[in-house]
Amino acid sequence: MTEDDDLLAIGRFARLTGLSVGALRHYDELGVLRPASVDRDTSYRRYRRDQIAAARTVARLRDLEMSLDEIRDVLATDEEAERRQLLEAHRRRVEARTYRLQYVLHVTGQLSRGKEPIVTDTIATDSHVLDDAGRRKLAADLFNGTWTFLEMSDRIPAQTDEMIHMAHASRFHWGEVVAAGGGEPANLARGEWLCSRVYAVLGRAEPALWHARRCLEIDEANGIRDWDIAFAYEAMARASSVAGDLVAAREWAARARAACEEVVEPEERELIEGDLATLVLD
């Protein structure tokens, strides 16, 4: 058998790999997957059989929404450790987008059900003193600002610092609002949940567990159920996973899924289920 006999026509190669002929031509032009030979007169492309695995890798990673530049880097390296680092970087970007969409889904649901106004007024009684309405808005804005940083997959250290401080500041101001009678214990629990999420994303197990437990304790002490208790269980599962305690993580995740069944609003149930899908449990 000659070398030419082992080459596959582009149409047959496309069928074997699940890629279209047009996609293969595009990947050739971008240097992602070069054919083994190109006819000088007809520009007809042919591929070796041992390129099938690479082509299927491209198809799989494109299905996972990895960019062609990233896929090119994955194919270019023979080092398993480097390949895993590239995949982990992509996972972090997907996770950041997931957090953003979960936040958008939740806020849009709150607005559509009239639970939050689209626009709020902030009025301070003094340039140095916040009134209850101003403090409440500040707490909410800090919460939302924290999410902006959580959505970043390439934060610099200064942004990480700011994210941590904003999460704690949001929790502090919610505490002031609740102490003044302008909020509910659920606001405190959600503040603790946010702090736990920040530390979980940063891979810091001890503070992630601390704030997850505080979230759960506040919910349980005040009889808070529905989606809040489900998210408290989710926080415990995520923090346990970061701590490497996968047995506990799976147990808490199971409790969170069971609690989802009791969530009244479908949008809120979907939000929790989407969050649970991002847990690492094995």
Determine the structural domain holding residue 43 and report its residue range.
Answer: 4-76
46, 76, 106 — which closes off a domain?
A: 76
Query: Tokens 């950041």 label which residue?
Result: 96
pLDDT digits (tens, 9 = 90+) for 34-90: 999 998 888 899 999 999 999 999 999 999 989 999 999 999 998 999 999 999 888
Q: In the predicted model, what is the mean pLDDT of residues 109-119?
A: 75
Where a domain ends, among 76, 111, 131?
Answer: 76
Residue 20 clears pLDDT 60, i.e. is over it: yes
Give me the pLDDT at residue 126, please. Answer: 45
Length of the chain as a residue count = 282
The answer as to whether 174 is a domain residue is yes
pTM exceeds cut of 0.85: no
Q: Give tens-digit pLDDT for 181-227.
A: 888 999 999 999 999 999 999 999 999 999 999 999 999 999 999 99
Q: Are residues 101 and 60 in the same domain?
A: no
Is 85 inside any structural domain?
no
141 and 249: one domain?
A: yes
In this structure, are residues 47 and 13 in contact, taking their beta carbons and an 8 Å threshold?
Answer: yes
Residue 265 lies in a domain: yes
Q: Does any domain span residue 40?
A: yes
> Following DSSP, what letter does each residue of 192-243 receive, concatenated?
HHHHHHHHHHTT-HHHHHHHHHHHHHHHHHTT--HHHHHHHHHHHHHHHHHT
> Based on the domain organization, do 20 and 97 belong to the same domain?
no
Q: What percent of the chain has pLDDT over 70?
A: 93
What letter would DSSP give residue 151? T
Domain count, the chain: 2
Last residue of a domain, one of 76, 106, 136: 76
Residues 67 and 99 in one domain: no
| Same domain as 48, residue 108 | no
- The answer to the question of residue 86 being in a domain is no
107 with 166, same domain: the answer is yes
